[in-house]
Amino acid sequence: MRILLVAGSGWRAAAPEVARAAARAWSSAAPRDAVVAQALADGGPGFVEVARPLMAADPGLLVLETALAPEGPAGAGTTDLVAGTSLELGRMLGAALATDARTIALGLGPAPVHGWADGGAGLLVGLAEVLGVPVPGRDRLVAGGAGLGGVRATDLPDVARLRRALGARDVVGAYRSSDPVLGLAGLAAGLAEARRLDPVVAQALEHNLGDLAHALAALAGLAGRDLLAGSGPAASVRALGALPGAGGGAALVLHALGVRLAPGLRVVADRAGLDAAINGSDVVVVVVPAVDGGEMHDGTVALVGELALEVAVPVVVVAGHCVAGRREWAAAGISAVYEEPRRSAAASDVLGVVPRVARTWSR
């Protein structure tokens, strides 16, 4: 049999290591099967590690991630998140433009990982400085989300010039969560709900990010159009606010710079030829820490299930624990879900289930 083993993200170990270990575990129980291992990443921590084979296969591809340009430690507190800046991320992106890369994929991880929630204001400054573009309101833009109150279009660098610099490359911002920058389900609200920000601080951050969106929208033609929202500055702000809040809201500025935004899993899957690999398999096995609401909505299980359903290839999921009901995962194209008996999400424990699954499904 032809088995495709796909490891999702969220492990303490690197996803490629989990994928290879899962393949060995399957082969130990079903040695005659031809097993191929594939790791996926969603744009968060580990995005670059998963993409290394893709960069090796295509020298014109350069993959970066926000976790490589931290301004605050993982687990940063309230003050760090609102004062942290994405300045180094902008410098990293500027440095990437000096390479021969034709495609630059930038993984946008969650705010608590890299320690900022500034809507990409610091990124704008870092990129402008590398390219030699003046920034009138530099001090305000690098003061983190807490310093963005009252920011105006006149504080920003020449965004059109930065767009032209990026326009010569295919730059993509790879995100996991589609939760928006602004609103009741936005970046600030999510940080408050996760108890990473005091509600009062989160409300101020929401207001400040809104000011940044207004400043960007004031630059005619840079915010893009939303046919449902209408036209004019207010509509542009609504369109910008609905962008993914990944990367500490950096998608806000990246969109204004003309960067293409796409789900990180899709970016890796398309580059790795996942659809063709699934089509050429008899069974696809997905190994993830948990099958929860996020995994079923926009995670590895949801993506693999969708692709496999199109070509009628069965998908089996091995997870530490599963909170999704049978009706939900079956509708997503999943044939079976196997949980670790103790509901442990540790990779070593979950991989211990793989040989039993191999004996069940191999023929």
> pLDDT tens-digit profile of 39-62?
999 999 899 999 999 999 999 999
Indicate the pairing of strand 103-108 with strand 170-175.
parallel
Question: At 315, is the secondary structure helix, strand, or coil?
Answer: strand
- Residue 62, CA distances (Å) to 44, 75, 249, 259, 349 in order: 16, 28, 22, 15, 34
Q: In what order do the strands lie in the sheet with 260-263?
A: 61-65, 103-108, 170-175, 260-263
Give the pLDDT score at 31.
Answer: 97
Q: What angle do CA 210, 213, 215 make, to 5 degrees?
A: 110
Taking a C-beta distance cutoff of 8 angstroms, is the pair 160, 222 a contact? yes
pLDDT tens-digit series, residues 176-196: 888 899 999 999 999 999 999
CA 211 to chain centre: 25
**How many CA atoms within 13 Å lie on the side-chain side of 218?**
13
Give the pLDDT score at 102.
Answer: 97
pLDDT tens-digit series, residues 55-101: 999 999 999 998 887 554 443 444 578 999 999 999 999 999 999 99
Give the pLDDT score at 78.
Answer: 41
Taking a C-beta distance cutoff of 8 angstroms, is the pair 141, 204 a contact? no
Q: Which residues contact 163 (CB under 8 A, 6 or more apart)?
A: 222, 256, 257, 258
pLDDT tens-digit series, residues 310-363: 999 999 999 999 999 999 999 999 999 999 999 999 999 999 999 999 999 999
Question: At 115, is the secondary structure helix, strand, or coil?
Answer: coil
Mean per-residue pLDDT over the chain, rounded: 91
Give the pLDDT score at 339.
Answer: 97
> What is the token pair recorded at 43?
């744009």
Give the pLDDT score at 47.
Answer: 95
Other residues' Cβ atoms within 10 Å of the Cβ of residue 36: 15
pTM of whole model > 0.95? no
Question: At 104, is the secondary structure helix, strand, or coil?
Answer: strand
The amino acid occupying position 123 is L
Question: At 322, is the secondary structure helix, strand, or coil?
Answer: strand
Whole-angstrom distance, CA of residue 249 vs CA of residue 195: 18
- Where is 289: in which H helix or E strand? strand 283-291
Taking a C-beta distance cutoff of 8 angstroms, is the pair 248, 117 a contact? yes
Q: Which of 298, 361, 349 is nearest to 321 (CA)?
A: 349
Question: At 149, is the secondary structure helix, strand, or coil?
Answer: coil
Average pLDDT over residues 248-270: 94
Give the pLDDT score at 178.
Answer: 83
Quick one: what percent of the chain has pLDDT higher than 70? 93
Q: What angle do CA 214, 249, 11 make, to 5 degrees?
A: 170
Question: At 66, is the secondary structure helix, strand, or coil?
Answer: helix
Residue ranges and CATH numbers for the domains of the chain are 2-39+273-361 (3.40.50.10350), 47-265 (3.90.1510.10)
